[in-house]
Structure 1
Amino acid sequence: MNVILLIIISYLIGCFSSAYLIGKIFKKMDIRSYGSGNAGATNAVRVMGKKLGVLTFLLDFTKGIIAVLLGYRMMGYNGGLIAAFFVVMGHDWPIFLGFKGGKGVATTIACFAVLNFPIALISVIIGITVALTTRFVSLGSIVFFTIVPILNIVNFNNFNKEFFIASIFLAIIGIYKHKENIKRLKNGCENRIGR
């Protein structure tokens, strides 16, 4: 029973679409009709500016932390893993917005930060470095998703099977949500930072 309750609550927390609500409140607009059409922090920065974009990121980040901590409280570490998966699902496919949400980067970072802070920190640093070097935010995000499970394998003395499985699933979701970015990267027409 606790598992079902945790899944539902985590998913609903994820459905809180920061980009959508901020767009409606501050700009009287549906952000999904502008820019990339994505209800996430990167598109929020491009469409609504840095301040509202940062606010979007922080709110998306916060809901990841809240969900995982709730999972910890209800079911321990495995509860945190379950909460992480479903809060990201809610963010990416929110039921209240016709399942058209974001790509889950900020929320996933938050989840990993609670579940395994050292790996999350290193992965974020690598992802940011790639994004700043190439000026492709999407590429930095894809690298972040990819590097988390890899670092868990490399850290064989503290290998965590449950975290590894969760990170694989979240990586698959994150990379899938970036499928259009991947196509644009291959075709050389992806948006760069500053454009």
Structure 2
Amino acid sequence: MTALTLIISLLCGYLLGSIPFGLVITRAAGLGDIRAQGSGNIGATNVLRTGRKDLAAATLILDSGKAAIAALAAWAVFERPEAAAAGAAAFIGHCYPVWLKFKGGKGVATFFGVSLALSFPLGLMLCGLWLSAAALFGYSSLAALIAAAAAPLLALAAHRPELATAFAVMIIVIFWRHRSNIARLFKGEEPKIGAKKKETDAA
């Protein structure tokens, strides 16, 4: 990995990750600005609050897909370190998109997109961990935090230090973006999966 290939991977990954699919899809469907609805988030969870499951599913697929494409494209052109950097940059782009004054989603879908693209078995393990935690505790946000926290350890166990580094960066952002959810969890005020609450959003 050279400085040039790293910069190219980071820049391209960030710009791709910055595409606000949730906003684009809901506007195209005539639902207005998703940021003025529900939690104000551009992620799939808030899109689901419009009552359009199809749009929420499309947002989830596209948000995870853009991160996966960024990582796989860098891997095809360069090497694993650049791929991990591009995936992490796409994740940052989703959370802090330049087109929306750096106000984006919480990054859960893009996190899973990166993990599945760069190590499909590890990505499946993280998805399984999310599902298990969600079923056990009933909180989408808590399940996301648990999966994110486990990611670097699993990457190191799989002898993927470059992926562990990318996950470490994403963990910091995920926990920061979920700070309001964490506060509600400690207070016992976080709604469980299926419950409706205006302020919360985990994707």
**What corresponds to 1:88 in structure 2?**
91
- The AA in structure 1 aligned to 2:87 is A
Q: Which has the higher contact order (CA 8 A, sep 6+)?
A: 2
Looking at structure 1, the residues matched to 135 and 52 of structure 2 have their Cα atoms a distance apart, in angstroms, of 18
Equivalent in the alignment of 1:30: 33
Structure 2 residue corresponding to 1:68, chosen from 66, 71, 74 = 71
1:135: how far off? Answer: 2.3
Q: Is the 8 A contact 1:6 1:74 kept in 2?
A: no
Give the aligned length. Answer: 192
1:100 corresponding residue in structure 2: 103
Q: Deviations over 1:48-83 (max 9, x none)?
A: 432211111001111011100111123211111110
What are the Cα deviations for residues 23-50 of structure 1, in whole angstroms up to 9, with x where unaligned? Answer: 2111432112221221111111123432
> CA RMSD of the aligned region, Å?
1.5
| Structure 1 unpaired stretches of 5+ | none
Work out which of the residue numbers 121, 141, 144 in structure 1 matches 2:144. 141
Give 2:164's aligned residue.
164
TM-score for the superposition, normalised by structure 2: 0.88
Gap runs ≥5 in structure 2 = 196-203
Q: Does residue 17 of structure 1 match 2:58? A: no
- 2:199 aligned residue: none
Match of 2:162, as an amino acid? E
Structure 2 CA distance, aligned partners of 1:171 and 1:137? 16
Say which SS state the counterpart of residue 49 (structure 2) adopts. Answer: helix
More helix by share: 1
What residue identity is the alignment partner of 2:161? K
1:14–1:91 contact (8 Å) kept in structure 2: yes
**Does structure 2 retain, via aligned residues, the 8 Å contact 1:72–1:79?**
yes
For normalisation by structure 1, the TM-score amounts to 0.92
Give the counterpart letter for 2:160 in structure 1.
N
Does structure 1 residue 193 correspond to structure 2 residue 203?
Answer: no
